[in-house]
Amino acid sequence: MEQEVNLVKMGNRRSRQSGGAKLKALIITALLIAGIYSAYKLVPVYFAEFQFADGIQEQARFGVVGRYTEEQIRDKVFKIAQDLEIPVKREDIKVSSSIAIVKISAEYTVPVDLGFYKLDLHFSPSSENRSIMTP
């Protein structure tokens, strides 16, 4: 009789332990899904910013060599932003160009809705290139 009571108590303890393991697995799964979803929403934004910064750097290099005007450089940078679907306004692209140096910078904010949290990512890529031919 006493052994039967002990077996029943052990069965109850196992039942409670397996319930805790199920809860832990559920929480870990939920966190994993939230992390994957967040990456799905955030990675494209950061990748587009990387490509835009690379485009700005390229335009700064070519701006010095090609002796483009500030408006020509701004137009090219704005075209890159439109192609990448970056929400930057044309007037937010700052260009300073002379014979010796080209400086380009832009500031923009991308709103990201994760469903459970909304955030604004602020980016300010810039580049500067100097001519090697002038002192």
Q: What is the pLDDT along the chain (135 residues), one digit of tens a residue?
A: 555 555 555 555 555 556 678 888 999 999 999 999 999 999 999 999 999 999 999 999 988 888 888 999 999 999 999 999 999 999 999 999 888 899 999 999 999 998 888 999 999 999 999 877 655
Q: Say how far apart CA 93 and CA 126 lie, in whole Å.
A: 10
Give the DSSP H/E element, type plus range, for residue 108. strand 108-113
38 occurs within a structural domain: yes
Does the predicted model carry a pTM greater than 0.85?
no
75 occurs within a structural domain: yes
Number of structural domains (the chain) is 1
| Residue 83 belongs to domain spanning | 2-130
Give pLDDT, residue 100: 86
Q: Are 73 and 93 in contact (CB under 8 A)?
A: no
Q: Say how far apart CA 97 and CA 13 lie, in whole Å.
A: 76
135 occurs within a structural domain: no
